[in-house]
Amino acid sequence: MPENKDKFRIEDQVELYLEVKNVSTVHIKVFEFNTLTYYRKTLKPFDTSIDLDGLESKITRKYEFNLPANCKRKEKFVFEELAGRVGLFIFEFVGNGRSARAVVKKGSLSLIHRSTPAGHLAYIIDDSRNICKEPGTGLWLENKFYPAKEDGTIFMSYSRAEISTKVIMVNGDFA
């Protein structure tokens, strides 16, 4: 639905809308996804068709509706538990044998980088445009982790050969 966003700031409340018809009960499961593990294994953007079988949901809800079955309506679902949280969340809505999925990203990371005479100097920036400094902040580059110092600087010395590769930005548990 056009009202549904897929990216939220950390402080935003997650609200999702679902259009229902001939549904008296909707079951909702919310899965929190480990982004670092996924990106280290695949080195590609998140794939929304991921198999959720066997995963345990963080939030489970059941909604009952007492409206005529043939009435098409838009329902709003609010997830206050996710306020102030950062991460990638998968919402699965199931009703009357049909399912719908939404993927919500709370928070974002950006990279500021410049070359110096000794190597590359980088900073990871959060969605509030602050330099990330918490423990676990750093960059994964070619299976090597470059940790951020207390001031948030990340230094990578030059390699002998020119490479073009992907990096994984990490701040705490979020990548």
Structural domains present in the chain: 7-106 (2.60.40), 109-170 (no CATH)
Query: Where are the alpha helices (H) located in the chain, listed in sequence order?
Result: 35-42
Q: For 45-86, how does the pLDDT look when each residue is reduced to its tens digit (9 = 90+)? A: 877 777 777 788 889 999 888 877 678 888 899 999 998 889
Question: What pTM was computed for the model?
Answer: 0.82
- Does the pLDDT value for residue 2 go beyond 80? no
Whole-number pLDDT of residue 1: 65
Q: How far apart are CA 32 and CA 54, in angstroms?
A: 13
pLDDT in tens, 115-127: 889 888 999 999 8
DSSP code of residue 116: -
Cβ partners under 8 Å of residue 6, min gap 6: 102, 103, 104, 105
CB half-sphere exposure, 8, CA atoms < 13 A: 24
* Mean pLDDT, rounded, of the chain: 87
